[in-house]
């Protein structure tokens, strides 16, 4: 009797080859499981319910040491001190409600956000309460008694105790000895001594601010934002100033495009600004002097239409293109930028999911060393470890659409509705529902393609309980090739020390299919088969 052992699963999910020619380390299906540093397979981290938020907020983004949620309603409050409620009302309407938060950056100690409302409008908000020394045009110093204020600049203040609004001086004069009762209705006014204050939001009002969805913070104290055929940027360290000459300005990205000229996303690649188009990526070298911000390179025939899909994987950037996942890499030997088809193993699975209206987004999950890209209920996870030589894809399915994800202090949080979950390797179910782990191999011929084998038994090494069935290909009495699947066997833990588990199949090749669904840890370390070869058919 011959024994063959399968204990290296380093390739993860890989559909590049057919089920007949793929190796044993390339899995035909890997759902809700991942490749470990030891090249074993383990159940994915699950989502444990942390908090249920009060209704009326959207999004979940880390920044400035807290989890941030956003609302357009001043009546909404979240009592949990772990969360910061960011008030971003529609700047011209009291009936419009916040629907999405596309981009958030921590900028100069405050949050800068690109927000979309239920009428489809997008506005930028810079939530800078300011200080007494702040420049009036660009920030909001706190109100001071018996102080002269003018309508020039324009002049803004915030209450001594911030209330989510800022107030514009619309009639100049001198403030009173006591702080006024500040209105909390957009455009409402209050008389303060001889000053009249008008209630305003924290929207960026500079006419050159593009108010578009995709923004990125450069390493030079600037915010960059797409704006059709150009990419605009604010003045250094001044999130409200998109106009000052020789400091704020724009990059004429459209003039370098042969086809589609509208930029669709911006992001940083190392210290380089990456501007994404549907069919190209432009790389711009940044400099404090706007005149020295220059186009470094253009990578053609690849790009992305999905502003939140680019994400960092070690020194590379992974993004979702119309052909699947691709990566932007810098050649260490030649200092050259290049794209790479890192997502090729799952292209055939991902491409059918790329549809109009799709809004994928990515996060790096530090605890597992994984890039996650969320498409509704499905997460495509890329596990990367340079030291362990792991570069493997897997498909993760959650019981609900994941509305948003963010990382704070090395922990990954997910939001669904008003519930916030902590994604934790020690959790084994999503809320109250354990995920179904499915591991399916390609057809294994035991290094003897075409030979008929009598499979007499198997052993399973791992942790947890699972069902194992076998898809097989065999030949009937008339010489016809047939396919089928056995009834499942239930195995637990390590069966190696005992008697082998009988299988009793006469096949040319078989494809093990492992299914696990329970509130417990699960790991597959090794499969061993015992068989005899009968020879070629």
Q: Express each pLDDT in 189-202 by its tens digit.
A: 999 999 999 998 88
pLDDT higher than threshold 60 for residue 458: yes
Q: Which residues touch 159 (CB under 8 Å, ≥6 apart)?
A: 142, 143, 165, 167, 179, 182
Do 202 and 91 meet the contact criterion of CB atoms below 8 Å apart? no
Cα angle 511-517-523, degrees, rounded to a multiple of 5: 65
Q: Which two tokens stand for residue 254?
A: 């459209």
Q: How confident is the model at residue 149 (pLDDT cuts 50, 70, 90)?
A: very high
Q: Which fold has domain 2-44+437-536?
A: Jelly Rolls (2.60.120)
**How much is the pLDDT for 475?**
65
**How much is the pLDDT for 288?**
87
Do 511 and 471 meet the contact criterion of CB atoms below 8 Å apart? yes
The CATH superfamily holding the domain 49-121+206-424 is YVTN repeat-like/Quinoprotein amine dehydrogenase (2.130.10.10)
Average pLDDT, the chain: 90
Q: What is the pTM of this model?
A: 0.90
Closest CA to 273 of 220, 326, 324, 323: 220
**Chain length of the chain:** 537
Instruction: Give domain limits for the chain.
Output: 2-44+437-536, 49-121+206-424, 148-200
Q: What is the mean pLDDT of residues 285-292?
A: 92
Q: Is the dihedral of CA 6, 461, 530, 441 positive or negative?
A: negative
pLDDT higher than threshold 90 for residue 78: no
Q: What is the mean pLDDT of residues 154-179?
A: 89
| pLDDT digit string, tens, across residues 104-127 | 999 988 999 999 999 999 999 998
pLDDT higher than threshold 90 for residue 146: yes
**How much is the pLDDT for 184?**
86
Q: What is the mean pLDDT of residues 389-410?
A: 96
**Helix, strand, coil distribution of the chain in percent, nearest 5:** 5, 50, 45
Helix (H, G, I), strand (E, B) or coil at 389: coil
CA atoms within 13 A on the CB side of 362: 23
| Runs of H (alpha helix) within 8-118 | none
| pLDDT digit string, tens, across residues 349-384 | 999 999 878 899 999 999 999 999 999 899 999 999
What is the separation, in whole angstroms, between the first and last Cα of the chain? 20
CA–CA separation, 428 and 44 (whole Å): 8
Q: How confident is the model at residue 137 (pLDDT cuts 50, 70, 90)?
A: very low
**How much is the pLDDT for 334?**
38
Cβ burial, residue 341 (10 Å; 0-12/13-18/19+): middle
Q: How confident is the model at residue 330 (pLDDT cuts 50, 70, 90)?
A: low
């Amino acid at each position: 009797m011959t024994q063959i052992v399968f204990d290296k699963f380093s390739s993860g999910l890989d559909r590049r080859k057919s089920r007949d020619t793929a190796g044993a380390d390339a899995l035909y299906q890997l759902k809700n499981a991942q490749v470990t540093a030891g090249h074993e397979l383990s159940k994915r981290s699950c989502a444990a319910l942390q908090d249920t938020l009060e209704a009326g907020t959207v999004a979940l983004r880390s920044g400035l040491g807290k989890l941030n949620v956003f609302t357009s309603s001043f009546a909404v409050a979240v009592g949990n001190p772990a969360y910061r409620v960011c008030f971003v009302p529609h700047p011209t309407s009291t009936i419009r409600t916040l629907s999405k938060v596309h981009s958030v950056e921590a900028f100069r100690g405050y949050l800068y956000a690109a927000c979309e409302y239920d009428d489809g409008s997008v506005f930028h908000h810079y939530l800078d309460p300011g200080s007494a020394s702040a420049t009036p045009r660009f920030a909001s110093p706190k109100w001071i008694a018996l102080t002269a204020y003018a309508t020039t600049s324009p002049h803004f203040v915030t209450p001594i105790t911030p209330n989510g609004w800022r107030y514009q001086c619309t009639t100049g004069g001198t403030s009173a000895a006591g702080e006024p009762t500040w209105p909390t209705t957009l455009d409402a006014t209050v008389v303060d001594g001889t000053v009249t204050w008008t209630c305003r939001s924290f929207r960026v009002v500079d006419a050159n601010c593009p108010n578009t969805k995709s923004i990125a913070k450069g390493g030079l104290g600037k915010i960059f934002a797409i704006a059709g055929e150009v990419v605009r940027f604010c003045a250094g360290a001044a999130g409200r100033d998109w106009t000052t000459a020789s400091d704020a300005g724009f990059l004429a990205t459209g003039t370098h495009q042969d086809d589609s000229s509208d930029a669709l996303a911006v992001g940083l690649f190392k210290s380089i600004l990456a501007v994404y188009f549907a069919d190209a990526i432009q790389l711009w070298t940044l400099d404090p002097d706007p005149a020295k911000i220059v186009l470094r390179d253009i990578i053609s025939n690849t790009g992305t239409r999905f502003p939140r899909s680019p994400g960092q994987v070690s020194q590379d950037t992974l993004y979702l293109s119309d052909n699947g996942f691709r990566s932007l890499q810098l050649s260490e030997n030649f200092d050259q930028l290049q794209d790479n088809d890192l997502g090729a193993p799952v292209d055939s699975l991902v491409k059918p999911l790329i549809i109009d209206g799709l809004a994928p987004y990515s996060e790096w999950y530090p605890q597992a060393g994984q890039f996650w890209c969320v498409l509704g209920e499905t997460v495509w996870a890329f596990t990367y470890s340079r030291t362990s030589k792991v570069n493997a894809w897997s498909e993760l399915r959650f019981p609900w659409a994941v509305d948003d994800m963010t990382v704070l202090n090395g922990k990954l949080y997910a939001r669904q509705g008003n519930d916030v979950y902590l994604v934790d390797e020690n959790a084994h179910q999503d809320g109250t529902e354990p995920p179904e782990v499915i591991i399916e191999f390609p057809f294994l011929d035991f290094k003897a393609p075409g030979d008929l084998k009598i499979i007499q038994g198997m052993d399973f090494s791992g942790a947890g309980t699972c069902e194992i069935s076998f898809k097989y290909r065999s030949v009937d009495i008339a010489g016809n090739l047939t396919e089928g699947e056995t009834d499942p066997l239930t195995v637990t833990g390590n069966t190696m020390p005992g008697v082998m588990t009988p299988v009793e199949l006469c096949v040319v090749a078989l494809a093990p299919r492992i299914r696990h669904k329970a509130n417990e840890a699960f790991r597959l370390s090794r499969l061993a088969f015992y068989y005899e070869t009968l020879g070629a058919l």
